[in-house]
């Protein structure tokens, strides 16, 4: 049961990052940013095709996470894969958020840190 809950946690995190990635990509491209992924770039003209692609990629990613838990029973090093996979999915989200704010990454980091310190200090 413990492994199942852990797998569910990673699958949900992956799906949430995928949803945020899809929304920020959609918003960014409609504000004039270019999509670097040519597979997604050609689907931007059709919302159903664009979000359908993200849904398919998300389902495949969740499948990869589930399969990695199966493999981890045989190869202990695979226990590290889900966290890495989710972190890699978070990178485009972070990139999109930086682009959408219009702030340089250092200034954005300092502003977020200052707000966090003031809000929780």
Contacts of 6 (CB under 8 A, 6+ apart): 69, 82
| pLDDT of amino acid 4 | 82
Contact 89, 16 (CB under 8 A): no
Query: Could you list the pLDDT tens digit for every one of the 121 residues in the chain?
Result: 476 899 999 999 999 999 999 999 999 999 988 888 888 888 999 999 999 999 999 999 999 999 999 999 999 988 899 999 999 999 889 888 888 888 766 666 666 666 666 765 4
Tokens representing 25? 């990509």
User: Whole-angstrom Cα distance, residue 83 to residue 90?
Assistant: 11
- pTM for the model: 0.80
| Terminal Cα distance for the chain, rounded | 38
How many CB atoms lie under 10 A from the CB of residue 109? 12
Report the sign of the C-alpha dihedral through residues 98, 41, 67, 1, in that order: positive
Distance of alpha carbon 99 from alpha carbon 80, whole angstroms = 30
């Amino acid at each position: 049961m413990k492994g199942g809950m852990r797998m569910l946690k990673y699958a949900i995190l992956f799906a949430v990052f995928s949803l945020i990635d899809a929304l920020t990509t959609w918003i960014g491209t409609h504000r004039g940013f270019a999509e670097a992924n040519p597979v997604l770039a050609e689907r931007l003209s059709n919302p159903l095709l664009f979000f359908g692609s993200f849904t398919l990629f998300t389902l495949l990613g969740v499948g990869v996470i589930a399969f990695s838990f199966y493999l981890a029973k045989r190869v202990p090093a695979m226990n590290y894969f889900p966290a890495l996979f989710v972190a890699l999915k978070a990178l485009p989200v972070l990139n999109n958020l930086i682009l959408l704010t219009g702030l340089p990454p250092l200034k954005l980091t300092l502003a977020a840190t200052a707000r966090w310190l003031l809000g929780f200090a």
